[in-house]
């Protein structure tokens, strides 16, 4: 059953439940005959499910002048019973409000009525009022989780995204009180309706942490690449995230990522990408199978050349004034499965300084730490990445991925 259907069923049941807590007595002590007789008739008609006639007799009793407070209360109780049974939410809500305002009900009975008033306002699309009564329900000790749904939906449908966020904010970040995926989707949709991009992205980020799905990552990755000033040189970093979040869409993605890795000087990474493409049947099949095979051969040749020249490359990297070559060399080792050798070289290169792009180097180091399984250290590294050209945005997404 969908959430909307569940909510509808709950709303219908709520009015009935509130009315079930009492049945107004037709013969109450201190009620004059001119009030008691139409109420007695209304009670009989209610039992016969003749709701319109029953409500008419309640109105006859209410028309009697100079009613005592006790008579007024009995009338409203009967009106609430009849209207609830008839599904007349608006009339029931007004009756419940009158009963609550009398100060004659408390405890569980009062909670049931507050519950029903909130529900009735929701059904009547009076979302601000529904939220007010739902808040009162919880303030007075109510604990039914269904009322949380009414409150959340009332905020959402009333375009009160700030209240939705406050309601879900802490729960979304705490394991013991985690907001549901559906609730976070409501938060995201609320911001989307308000065209609040920052709020929407923040909600999607919560979703990828707690409910990491491909579609949420697709959205985030698309948005970060469209940010003003995002640099094309970060394409390989984006592909790494896409691979990690199952967002490589087809053969062309695998081919392009492998080629970018080769161009960046990471043949071992290119091999990992090509091998994955073959494993998932994206490469090696169809009309471009021969092209895929040529790329695979090129990757294998590049790996052989890289390993043959490794000793020379390492000497030159250690002797260089800049730490760039050490970072690159270390990254290659990590992709070859030799993180114990590669990570120290990358760290040494960053400390050496003289880097062409220091933030890119830290981003690569964090990615390498994640690849090696050093999640906590990776998060610490990635949180130090700064700048406005996209490196910091990619680092943030890696942190979210690590937290998922």
| Alpha-carbon distances, residue 323 vs 234, 254, 338, 348 (angstroms) | 19, 30, 19, 7
Whether this model's pTM surpasses 0.85: no
Does residue 42 lie in a domain region?
yes
Does residue 172 lie in a domain region?
no
Separation between Cα atoms, residue 328 and residue 355, nearest integer Å: 11
397 and 248 housed in the same domain: yes
Domain boundary among 116, 144, 172: 144
Positive or negative CA dihedral for 331, 333, 334, 335?
Answer: positive
**Residue 149: other Cβ atoms inside 10 A:** 21
Separation between Cα atoms, residue 79 and residue 59, nearest integer Å: 8
Separation between Cα atoms, residue 306 and residue 8, nearest integer Å: 65
237 and 383 housed in the same domain: yes
What b/e string do you get for 157-192 counting C-beta neighbours within 10 Å, with b at 16 or more? bbebbebbbebbeebbeeeeebbbeebbbbbbebbe
140 and 244 housed in the same domain: no
**Residue 85: other Cβ atoms inside 10 A:** 19
396 and 248 housed in the same domain: yes
241 and 371 housed in the same domain: yes
Cβ proximity of 137 and 114 under 8 Å: yes
Does residue 57 lie in a domain region?
yes
Does residue 338 lie in a domain region?
yes
Q: Which helix (H) or strand (E) holds 341?
A: helix 339-352
Rg (C-alpha) for the chain, rounded Å, is 33
Q: Chunked in runs of 10, what are the mean pLDDT values of the chain (404 residues)?
A: 52 52 54 91 93 94 92 91 85 88 86 89 90 94 90 93 82 57 92 89 92 94 92 96 94 97 96 96 95 97 94 94 96 96 97 96 98 96 96 96 91
114 and 236 housed in the same domain: no
| Alpha-carbon distances, residue 205 vs 164, 178, 365 (angstroms) | 16, 14, 23
140 and 241 housed in the same domain: no
Q: Which domain holds residue 291?
A: 232-403
The number of folded domains in the chain is 2
Predicted local confidence at residue 188, as pLDDT: 92
Does residue 10 lie in a domain region?
yes
Does residue 204 lie in a domain region?
no
Separation between Cα atoms, residue 401 and residue 133, nearest integer Å: 39
* Rounded (10°) CA dihedral 54, 60, 63, 64: -120
| Alpha-carbon distances, residue 53 vs 32, 80, 83, 226, 267 (angstroms) | 21, 14, 11, 64, 84
Does residue 370 lie in a domain region?
yes
CATH number (domain holding residue 70): 1.25.40
Q: Which helix (H) or strand (E) holds 129?
A: helix 127-139
Contacts with 197 (C-beta within 8 Å, 6 or more apart), sequence order = 191, 223
251 and 386 housed in the same domain: yes
Does residue 382 lie in a domain region?
yes
């Amino acid at each position: 059953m969908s959430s909307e259907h569940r909510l509808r069923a709950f709303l219908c049941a709520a009015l009935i439940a509130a009315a079930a807590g009492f049945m107004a007595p037709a013969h109450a002590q201190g009620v004059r005959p001119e009030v008691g007789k139409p109420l007695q008739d209304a009670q009989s008609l209610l039992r016969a499910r003749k709701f319109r006639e029953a409500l008419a007799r309640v109105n006859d009793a209410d028309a009697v002048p100079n009613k005592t407070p006790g008579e007024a209360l009995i009338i409203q109780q009967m009106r609430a019973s009849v209207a609830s049974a008839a599904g007349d939410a608006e009339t029931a809500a007004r009756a419940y409000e009158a009963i609550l305002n009398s100060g004659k009900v408390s405890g569980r009975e009062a909670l049931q009525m507050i519950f029903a008033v909130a529900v009735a306002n929701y059904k009547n699309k009076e979302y601000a009022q529904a939220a007010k009564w739902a808040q009162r329900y919880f303030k007075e000790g109510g604990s039914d989780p269904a009322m949380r749904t009414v409150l959340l939906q009332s905020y959402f449908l009333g375009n009160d995204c700030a209240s939705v966020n406050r309601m879900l904010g802490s729960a979304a970040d705490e394991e013991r009180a985690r907001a549901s995926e559906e609730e976070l989707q409501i938060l995201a949709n609320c911001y989307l309706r308000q065209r609040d991009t920052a709020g929407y992205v923040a909600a999607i980020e919560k979703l990828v942490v707690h409910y990491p799905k491909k579609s949420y990552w697709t959205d985030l990755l698309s948005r970060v690449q469209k940010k003003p000033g995002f640099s094309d040189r970060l394409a390989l970093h984006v592909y790494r995230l896409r691979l990690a979040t199952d967002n490589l869409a087809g053969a062309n993605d695998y081919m392009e990522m492998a080629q970018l890795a080769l161009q960046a000087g990471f043949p071992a990474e290119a091999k990992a990408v090509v091998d994955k493409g073959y494993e998932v049947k994206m490469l090696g099949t169809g009309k471009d199978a021969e092209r895929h095979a040529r790329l695979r051969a090129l990757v294998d040749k590049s790996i052989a050349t890289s390993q043959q020249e490794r000793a020379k490359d390492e000497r030159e990297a250690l002797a260089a004034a800049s730490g760039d070559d050490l970072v690159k060399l270390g990254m290659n080792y990590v992709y070859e499965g030799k993180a114990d050798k590669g990570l120290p070289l990358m760290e040494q290169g960053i400390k050496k300084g003289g880097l062409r792009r220091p933030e890119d180097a830290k981003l690569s180091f964090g990615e390498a730490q994640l690849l090696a399984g050093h999640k906590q250290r990776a998060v610490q590294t990635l949180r130090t990445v700064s700048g406005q050209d996209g490196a910091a945005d990619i680092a943030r997404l890696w942190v979210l991925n690590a937290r998922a």
